[in-house]
């Protein structure tokens, strides 16, 4: 199984990158629709009356947790990608803690997808990118779980400073996007 680890690590990187790109597009589209920069129904995944990301992004369900779901997703997945890529540059002895933490948060994200599935099933239109993001969440969770199981535990006592610094960076990154949304929303509303 250890010989599979490099492939699993590559798979995890790819899946986190795809989830980041997916939520980046949905975040941009949500923002563009909210700010009236684009015409509804003209998006990348506005295919038919019933399959239209723009319709989904304009529903109250697209803001289930006050901040748009897409921006929450982008902040989470881009932060997870930063955590994964930057953390792999730390000493190999840190990798076990790194991937264990990533697996934990991807597990939490996987649980949240069940809330998002229930929201999707209530809508009159389907956003084809949203369910894919949930599937990518599950794939990332399984890949990280497998990487974690194949990553040796450190034999030495480690300084946790590099991990604490990385936690601070990733948490700050997440909150910058949330606060950024509230600032952007207030600016757009004040200009309308």
Q: What is the pLDDT of residues 154-186, one digit of tens each?
A: 888 888 889 999 999 999 999 999 999 999 888
pTM attached to this predicted model: 0.92
- Domain extents for the chain? 2-191
Contact status, residue 19 vs residue 137, Cβ threshold 8 Å = yes
pLDDT at 85 (0 to 100): 97
Kindly report the CA angle at 63 between 60 and 64, in degrees rounded to 5? 95
The pLDDT confidence band at residue 2, using thresholds 50, 70 and 90, is: low
Are the beta carbons of 30 and 102 closer than 8 angstroms?
Answer: no
| Rounded (10°) angle between helices 5-34 and 161-191 | 20
Residue that the structure tokens 């200009």 belong to: 191
2-191 placed in CATH 2.30.30: no
Structure tokens at 96: 């076990």
Nearest by Cα to 73 from 29, 35, 31, 130: 130
């Amino acid at each position: 199984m250890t010989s599979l680890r490099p492939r699993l690590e590559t798979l995890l990187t790819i899946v986190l990158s795809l989830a980041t790109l997916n939520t980046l597009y949905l975040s941009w589209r949500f923002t563009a629709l909210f700010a009236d920069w684009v015409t509804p129904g003209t998006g990348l995944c506005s295919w038919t009356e019933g399959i239209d990301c723009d319709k989904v992004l304009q529903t109250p369900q697209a803001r289930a947790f006050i901040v748009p779901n897409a921006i929450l997703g982008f902040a989470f997945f881009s932060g997870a990608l930063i955590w994964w890529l930057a953390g792999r540059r730390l000493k190999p002895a840190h990798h076990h803690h790194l991937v264990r933490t990533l697996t934990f948060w991807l597990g939490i994200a996987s649980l949240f997808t069940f809330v998002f599935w229930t929201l999707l099933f209530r809508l009159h239109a389907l956003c084809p990118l949203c369910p894919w993001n949930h599937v990518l969440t599950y794939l990332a969770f399984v890949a990280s779980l497998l990487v974690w199981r194949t990553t040796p535990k450190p034999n030495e006592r480690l300084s946790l400073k590099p991990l604490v610094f990385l936690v601070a960076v990733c948490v700050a990154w997440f909150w910058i996007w949330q606060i950024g949304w509230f600032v952007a929303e207030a600016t757009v509303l004040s200009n309308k």
